[in-house]
Chains A and B, each alone.
Chain A
């Protein structure tokens, strides 16, 4: 099929695709996981997610700082109402025995601290509201 992007795509039976735009040609590996597409082309990895999921995530995540992976809270360095400067360490997480500090992305005031030392926190769950 020819897509609006100008690349011609030919599907092969084993989940591989040839993409070509008349000048360049690649073989891509592609797998579907629900509505998400995972694609490997010439050393580049793409995770293509329907935009609705991302927007929903962005809407409630706007002012919240969330871990990007499962981790344990080992230090909480701020309290609600406290003013912080850009780059201040707010919470220190630990995962795979490495310390992962969560720092202030901007100057502001801490609205709420949603975790305590010793908590296990999950990606997508806010730990601090600013």
Chain B
């Protein structure tokens, strides 16, 4: 491997380009018409336009991407996450074109990409799965029947799904017809495959996932777990590691199950086995959810706590190197948290926002990492995912990491586009999230009922009103005062000066 084409955009493309350069590899970026001059384009040694703004015509355009690889003399392709990263046909096309696909073999992607096949693979490997039905007959009537057999509440999921798309919760009989139709329609549009299956809905679970790394010589290790329970509509918002209040016996069992699942399918490269966790302490039960055959958005928390660079690892195993460390060499040190900073409006149901980044100043300091793919002055459009940056912190303890994150979020100045940092700060301040977690060893000694960590995947939804609340009156007044100063700094007669003179408030203040 000598020259890597990164078939992605934004922060993950920038992060992969960094990793490649550190390994002495040349880099080729691709970009759409909407991304000319974007940070990932400037970060790479060279960049090739692959089409118009619409992802389907550019970042998902396989012929254009393969042509870009040929034109630039790339010998490997890193797909990042999203876009073509879990597209088996793309991995296959890369192999046929003589390119190293930095990820698992196409056959593994195909198998794990079908949630139903992945579920069968997990069962075969002795890994527990959520009780459910995979209807062989995919007619609406048969799916509705499967929902009734599983019982309420049930969850309809797209077989080819991910990211919450094509997923519907059904709590009563009269909701079945609309949910089946809607899930199938969304699945067809998002994945070109309308097949769905039905599972028992585990109420108030935690989302725990295990990072896996496999080489081409049959070695598989795990890099411990991540807790991604703070989600909204199945989209992760905050991730952390180690998982708070996870009993050591459960940690041992869940990581072993993930390794077993990965081994069973012949997994190679970095991947993640996702589980849901029900219950507390040593009595908690985990169930296989799915396997993601790619680098995850939240991989940095694992990097900080284990000290292993996952992009370097991906590049090394893709180049045929055997793993250079054993399971016994992997340890968790301290605590890491990641917040996803999105351009979305918390006061309007977290709707994606667009606009120009009039000011964009990232925080820094000890234990603070920012993975971003935007810069000041850039226009944030509606063509792609609204994530602006990932803010990741590392500290000695969970409490210290939360404090460090709160300070870093407050000093992350983003103006010109509404974003979710105020929402993230309120989320980190919730008593359920702040709950003091005693050492894991202490938990084991005190038994299974001593400590119940109250965060689950429904927490954000339950507290949405509180999390979306506007700033208090005093701060609104402070903002109005700054606005007066700001507007009156113009040379032309300013609205602000009038306001100061009359004492009236001529503005509609929108805060969140």
- The residue that B507 contacts in the complex, of A31, A50, A68, A95, with Cβ under 8 A, is A50
- The residue that A69 contacts in the complex, of B185, B382, B507, B512, with Cβ under 8 A, is B382
Residues of A contacting B406 with CB < 8 Å? 43
The distance from the CB of B257 to the nearest CB of chain A, in whole angstroms, is: 31
Residues of chain B at the chain A interface (Cβ within 8 Å)? 165, 182, 185-186, 189-190, 233, 345, 348, 351-354, 358-359, 361, 382, 384-386, 406, 409-410, 413-416, 418-419, 421-422, 425, 471, 474-490, 495, 499-500, 503, 506-512
Are the C-beta atoms of A31 and B475 separated by less than 8 Å?
A: no
The distance from the CB of A80 to the nearest CB of chain B, in whole angstroms, is: 23
- The answer to whether residues A6 and B477 also contact, given A1-B500, A43-B421 and a CB cut-off of 8 A, is yes
* Complex: A58 Cα to B385 Cα, angstroms: 30
Are the C-beta atoms of A44 and B354 separated by less than 8 Å?
A: no
- The answer to whether residues A38 and B482 also contact, given A44-B511, A49-B510, A51-B507 and a CB cut-off of 8 A, is no
Could you pull out 8 A-B pairs where Cβ atoms are within 8 angstroms? A17-B485, A17-B486, A32-B490, A37-B486, A37-B487, A43-B422, A45-B512, A50-B508
Residues of B contacting A97 with CB < 8 Å? 165, 186, 189-190
- Top 9 closest A-B pairs, CB basis? A7-B481, A38-B415, A46-B479, A37-B483, A5-B477, A29-B413, A44-B471, A3-B481, A4-B503
Are the C-beta atoms of A5 and B480 separated by less than 8 Å?
A: yes
Residues of A contacting B475 with CB < 8 Å? 41-42, 44
Are the C-beta atoms of A32 and B486 separated by less than 8 Å?
A: yes
A85 within 8 A of B: no
- Select from chain A the residue with minimum beta-carbon distance to B509: A48
* Complex: A38 Cα to B507 Cα, angstroms: 12
Are the C-beta atoms of A70 and B382 separated by less than 8 Å?
A: yes
- The residue that A95 contacts in the complex, of B382, B413, B421, B425, with Cβ under 8 A, is B382
* Complex: A39 Cα to B384 Cα, angstroms: 26
Are the C-beta atoms of A45 and B418 separated by less than 8 Å?
A: yes
* Complex: A39 Cα to B511 Cα, angstroms: 9
* Complex: A97 Cα to B186 Cα, angstroms: 8
Are the C-beta atoms of A54 and B484 separated by less than 8 Å?
A: no
Residues of A contacting B414 with CB < 8 Å? 40, 45
6 extra A-B contacts, CB within 8 A, seeds A5-B478, A19-B478: A15-B359, A17-B485, A45-B414, A45-B511, A46-B510, A48-B483
Residues of chain A at the chain B interface (Cβ within 8 Å)? 1, 3-9, 11, 15, 17, 19, 21, 24, 26, 28-33, 35, 37-51, 53-54, 68-70, 74, 94-100
Are the C-beta atoms of B478 and A50 separated by less than 8 Å?
A: no
* Complex: A31 Cα to B487 Cα, angstroms: 9
Are the C-beta atoms of A30 and B482 separated by less than 8 Å?
A: yes
- The answer to whether residues A50 and B506 also contact, given A4-B499, A9-B484, A96-B386 and a CB cut-off of 8 A, is yes
Are the C-beta atoms of A49 and B508 separated by less than 8 Å?
A: yes
Give how many A-B residue pairs fall within 8 Å (CB-CB): 169
Residues of B contacting A32 with CB < 8 Å? 486-487, 489-490
- The answer to whether residues A44 and B409 also contact, given A31-B358, A49-B508, A68-B351 and a CB cut-off of 8 A, is no
- The residue that B500 contacts in the complex, of A4, A53, A70, A74, with Cβ under 8 A, is A4
Are the C-beta atoms of A51 and B410 separated by less than 8 Å?
A: no
Residues of A contacting B422 with CB < 8 Å? 43-45
- The residue that B511 contacts in the complex, of A3, A46, A74, with Cβ under 8 A, is A46
Residues of B contacting A45 with CB < 8 Å? 414-415, 418-419, 421-422, 511-512
Residues of B contacting A8 with CB < 8 Å? 481
* Complex: A64 Cα to B71 Cα, angstroms: 52
- Select from chain B the residue with minimum beta-carbon distance to A67: B351
* Complex: A22 Cα to B401 Cα, angstroms: 31
- Select from chain A the residue with minimum beta-carbon distance to B417: A38
Are the C-beta atoms of A96 and B483 separated by less than 8 Å?
A: no
Are the C-beta atoms of B351 and A69 separated by less than 8 Å?
A: yes
Residues of A contacting B382 with CB < 8 Å? 69-70, 95-96
* Complex: A70 Cα to B382 Cα, angstroms: 7
Are the C-beta atoms of A19 and B165 separated by less than 8 Å?
A: no
Residues of B contacting A3 with CB < 8 Å? 480-481, 484-485, 500
* Complex: A21 Cα to B189 Cα, angstroms: 54
- Select from chain A the residue with minimum beta-carbon distance to B163: A97
- Select from chain A the residue with minimum beta-carbon distance to B55: A97
The distance from the CB of B477 to the nearest CB of chain A, in whole angstroms, is: 4
* Complex: A129 Cα to B249 Cα, angstroms: 59
Residues of A contacting B410 with CB < 8 Å? 42-43
Are the C-beta atoms of A46 and B503 separated by less than 8 Å?
A: no
